Structure 1
Amino acid sequence: MLLFSVIASAVAPGIALLTFFYLKDKYDAEPIHMVLRIFLLGLLIVIPVMIIQRGLTLGLGDSPFVQSFFISAGVEELLKWIVLYYIIYNHVEFDEPYDGIVYAVTVSLGFATVENVMYAWYSHASIGTMFIRALLPVSGHALFGVIMGYYFGRARFSKGVRTKRFLVYSLLIPLLFHGTYDLILTTVTDYWLLLMIPLMTILWYGGMGKVTRANSRSPFRFLKREEEVNT
C-alpha cells in the first residue's frame, strides 16, 4: 500500500502540471489525443536517453560540468527538441504560438514522470522525498518545456532568419537552465537551496510571463473577443 502511494505521488505532479499548462491555453485548446500522443513519446524517449547518456559517460567521463550540461541536460533537451521538431513543428494542430508550450511541456512531463517513477521504485523513496521532487525536478522539466515551447512558437510563426534564431533559442536556453540546475545539485552540498530557490523563482516568473506572451500572440484572440461581444 505504501509503495502504491509513493508511485502515485510520482505520477501525480506530472499530471497536475500538464493539466495546469493545458488549461492556460485561452483560445484554442489542443486535441486530447495529440497531447496523449506527445506525452507517450515523452515516456518512450527515456530509453534512448539512458542508452546515450551511458555511452557518453563512458566516453567523456564524469566531471560535474560535462555531466550537467552535456550528458544530462544536453541529451535530454535535445531528444525532446527532436520529438517536437519532427512530430509537431509542421503539424496542422500547431496553429498558434501557445501550442508550442503545450506540446513542449507535454513531452517534458512525459519524460519527467517516467524518471520520477523509476526514482520512486528503485530508491524506495518516502512521500516527503517525492513531494520535494514534485517541487524541483518535475516542475523543473515543465518549466524547461515552457521555455522550449515558447521559442518553438516564436519560430513557427516567424519568417526568415528569425525562424532559425528562435529554433536555436528553443534548444539552447532550456539546455542552459537545465544544466545550471543539474550543476547546482551535483556540486553544492551545503546551502544548495540558497541557489536553487532563486533559480526556480526565475524559471516560474519567466515561464508564466512566456505563457502570457504566447497567448497574446494567438491569431484566435480576436475571434474570441468577437464571440464575447456577440454574446
Structure 2
Amino acid sequence: MLLFSILTAAVAPGISLLTYFYLKDRYDAEPIHMVVRVFLLGVLIVLPIMVIQRGLLLWLGDGPILFSFTVSAGVEELLKWFVLYHIIFNHTEFDEPYDGIVYAVAISLGFATVENVLYAVFQPASVGSLLIRALLPVSGHALFGVTMGYYVGKAKFANEAKKKRNFLLLAAAVPLAEHGVYDYIMGSGSTYWVWFIVPLMGYLWIKGVRKMNRANARSPFRMLGHEEEIKL
C-alpha cells in the first residue's frame, strides 16, 4: 500500500502538468490517443538515454559544466527533439502551432515521470521531496518542452526553408541551454542554490505562458472560429 502511494505521488505531477498544457489548446485539441502515444514515447526513451549518458560519463568524465550541458541536458533534449521531429513533425494531426507544444510537453513529461518514479522507488522519498521534485525537475522538463514545442511549431508553419531550419535549430538549442543552466545550478553543491533556481523557474514559467499564448494566437482555427461567430 505504501509503495502504491509513493508511485501515485510520483506519477501525479506529470499527468497533472500534461493535462494543464493539453487544456490550454484553445482552438483544436489534439486526439487524446495521440498525446498518450507521445507520452509513452517519452517513457520508452528513458533506457536509451540512460545507456548513452552512462557511456558519455565513462568517456568524458563528470565535470560540472560538461555533465550539465552535454551528458545530462544534451542527451535528453537532443533525443527528445529527434523523436519529435522524426515521428510527429510531419504527422497529419500536427495542424496548428500549439500542437508542437502539446507533443513536446508530452514526450518531456513521459521521460520526467519515469525519472520521478525511479527516484521514488530507489531513493528514500518523502512527501516533501516528491513535492520539491514536482515543482522543480518535473515542471522543468515540461517547460523545456514548451520551448522546444514552440519553435517546432514555428518551423512546421514557416514558409521558407531557411526559416524552417533555423527554428528547428532553436528547438534543440534553446531548451538544451535552459536545461543545462538548470542542471548546473542543481548540481553546483552551493548552499545558495535556491536563490538561483527560483528566479530561473519563475522566468521559465513566465516565458512559457507567453509562448503558449503566442502559439495559440497563430492558430488557423482561431480565424475560422471568429468567422463562424460573425456568421451567427
Q: TM-score range by the shorter chain?
A: over 0.9
What is the TM-score when the length of structure 2 is the normalising length?
Answer: 0.98
Superposed displacement of residue 188, structure 1: 3.8
Matched, 1:177 2:178: yes
Partner secondary structure for residue 94 of structure 2 = coil
Give runs of ≥4 in structure 1 deviating > 6 Å: none
Matched, 1:53 2:37: no
For 1:17, the equivalent position in structure 2 comes to: 17
> Structure 2 counterpart of 1:109, which letter?
L
For 1:69, the equivalent position in structure 2 comes to: 69
Distance 1:118 1:101 in 2: 26
For 2:84, the equivalent position in structure 1 comes to: 84
Superimposed CA distance per residue, residues 58-114 of structure 1 (whole angstroms, 9 cap, x where no aligned partner): 000010111100000000001100110000001111110000000000000000000
> Structure 2 counterpart of 1:142, which letter?
A
Superposed displacement of residue 228, structure 1: 3.2
Superposed displacement of residue 230, structure 1: 4.2
> Structure 1 counterpart of 2:118, which letter?
M
Partner secondary structure for residue 220 of structure 1 = helix
Q: CA RMSD in A?
A: 0.9
Superimposed CA distance per residue, residues 155-204 of structure 1 (whole angstroms, 9 cap, x where no aligned partner): 00002211111000000000000000000011142111100011001100
Q: How many residues align?
A: 231
Structure 2: which 5+ residue stretches go unaligned?
none
For 2:229, the equivalent position in structure 1 comes to: 228
> Structure 1 counterpart of 2:107, which letter?
V
For 1:217, the equivalent position in structure 2 comes to: 218
Distance 1:187 1:118 in 2: 22
Distance 1:89 1:211 in 2: 18
Partner secondary structure for residue 220 of structure 2 = coil
Query: What percent identity do the matched residue pairs reach?
Result: 64
For 1:133, the equivalent position in structure 2 comes to: 133
Q: How does 1:96-107 map to 2 (within 5 A)?
A: 96-107=96-107
For 1:94, the equivalent position in structure 2 comes to: 94
What is the TM-score when the length of structure 1 is the normalising length?
Answer: 0.98
Matched, 1:187 2:188: yes
> Structure 1 counterpart of 2:82, which letter?
I
> Structure 1 counterpart of 2:77, which letter?
E
Q: How does 1:112-191 map to 2 (within 5 A)?
A: 112-158=112-158, 159-191=160-192
Structure 1: which 5+ residue stretches go unaligned?
none
Distance 1:183 1:84 in 2: 25
Distance 2:17 2:3 in 1: 22
Distance 2:178 2:210 in 1: 16
Distance 1:228 1:190 in 2: 56
Superposed displacement of residue 223, structure 1: 1.3
Partner secondary structure for residue 25 of structure 1 = coil
Distance 1:165 1:126 in 2: 43
> Structure 1 counterpart of 2:207, which letter?
G
Distance 1:5 1:227 in 2: 48
Superposed displacement of residue 7, structure 1: 1.1
